[in-house]
Structure 1
């Protein structure tokens, strides 16, 4: 009697597995092909290779299980043109928040960005989005002069100005890069010295840290030549160049 029950159990299990295979396996395969399956339950995921072309190993930043994408924005650039997030579609680009009268970290950040610009002069799919956090002073004319002084030649590098509240919301919520006013600090503004890396589809991407989570940002202040700053922090410009090259190869 126990043998019959055991046989019935095996038959039942086999039937369940068959049904599972018919219903769920195709869906799982579809999710893998679509890059939906995550490697961990952290705020990040890796992209899997597909049959259509190269896909890098750079991670996505995930918020509540969703890969973080650049939100819509619209500002005026240093040439007086209206630039939106759609102008960067199909391009790999870096994001910074700065202001032209900054005497501390901004000059270092933009020297490093020019160095990166000069590394990818042959790529029409690379760009930079520079948002001023002092739009009342940084008009289109001021930004244009600033771009000329810094030898900006990439046509996809836009220095943008516009509504201050919209810029601050874009920085702090859209890109998770801190920016704010502070009358108690030199120059009256505070902001991160980091760069965000965006892929051709508008997603924030980065390498993973030692714990398997995305680094999220790249240090923008220390140059390749310096290698290490006074606080012992190492440069990440060389890393950033390598990762831009990876994303430029993606479909």
Structure 2
């Protein structure tokens, strides 16, 4: 009987030691496992058709350029207004009959998900500034549930929008020299930018799963750049 008792006790001790060992291994793995982070995207990583000629092959240190645009309430906006923000950017026009509809719908999902986090902003740039005036953008925003505090619809000088699209965000394919809504191939790209102005992701704005992936990327950036 005593032998059986001792054997059972030994089994119990072995079980406890094994449990402690497993917990220790898991804990050590969690401590040593590298933190998941998004990569940094530079012009050399992108389809050359989307990149301005002057930047083709640039392999590092790309950041979004400064800008001066007008939002849907007529307020001037510059890069200083998004300093320290996680930015989701796209290019659209209000009369777009196709992919803009899905992109706007999906950006509304992003808006709702991060409505209470003022570190996250959405910037939608019109590529038809002659038509998409401040009143037109304001009406479009109201019709599509755009929250002004979270999502700016931006217009401005065509040349500046052109430069942003081709040399900063890499979001459109240019065709011809006039750069209006008929002279480029409108892409579905939505661009995720970190608080340092670096591109951390490019997603298909018409694809629900891609938007889910982008929102996960936003969560990773919020961990990487906790708000002070």
Residue matched to 1:117 = 111
Unaligned regions of 5+ residues in structure 1, if any?
Answer: 1-53, 207-216, 224-234
| CA distance in structure 1 between the partners assigned to 2:127 and 2:173 by the alignment | 7
Shift of 1:156: 3.3
Whether contact under 8 Å (2:87, 2:192) holds in the other structure is yes
Q: Distance in 2 between matches of 1:219 and 1:62?
A: 18
Structure 1 range deviating more: 58-67 or 87-96: 58-67
Q: Deviations over 1:179-222 (max 9, x none)?
A: 5467xxxx73531111010011111113xxxxxxxxxx101012
Backbone CA RMSD of aligned residues: 1.9
In the alignment, is the contact (CA less than 8 A) between 2:63 and 2:198 conserved in 1?
yes
Pairing 1:38-187 to 2, within 5 Å after superposition: 56-63=36-43, 64-153=58-147, 155-180=149-174
After TM superposition, the score normalised by the length of structure 2 is: 0.71
- C-alpha separation in 2, matches of 1:171 and 1:136: 17
What are the equivalent positions in structure 2 for 1:32-43 lying under 5 Å apart?
none
Q: Which digits, 9 at most, give the CA deviation of each residue in 1:22-80, with x for residues without a partner? A: xxxxxxxxxxxxxxxxxxxxxxxxxxxxxxxx975111113434232111111011010
User: How much does 1:250 deviate?
Assistant: 2.0
Normalized against structure 1, the TM-score is what?
0.65
CA displacement, residues 97-149 of structure 1 (integer Å, 9 cap, x when unaligned): 00000000101100000011101122111111110000000001100110111
Alignment-derived partner of residue 188 in structure 1 = 182
How many residue pairs get aligned? The number is 173
CA distance in 1, matches of 2:59, 2:174: 28
Aligned partners of 1:78 and 1:160 also within 8 Å: yes
Contact 1:55 1:250 in 2 (8 A): no
Residue number in structure 2 paired with 1:4: none
Indicate the larger mover: 64-73 or 77-86: 64-73
- Contact 2:115-2:150 at 8 Å conserved across structures: no
Q: Distance in 1 between matches of 2:102 and 2:88?
A: 15
User: 2: CA distance between counterparts of 1:60 and 1:181?
Assistant: 28
State the distance in 1 between where 2:42 and 2:175 align.
Answer: 28
Conservation of the 8 A alpha-carbon contact between 1:90 and 1:200: yes
CA drift at 1:158: 0.9
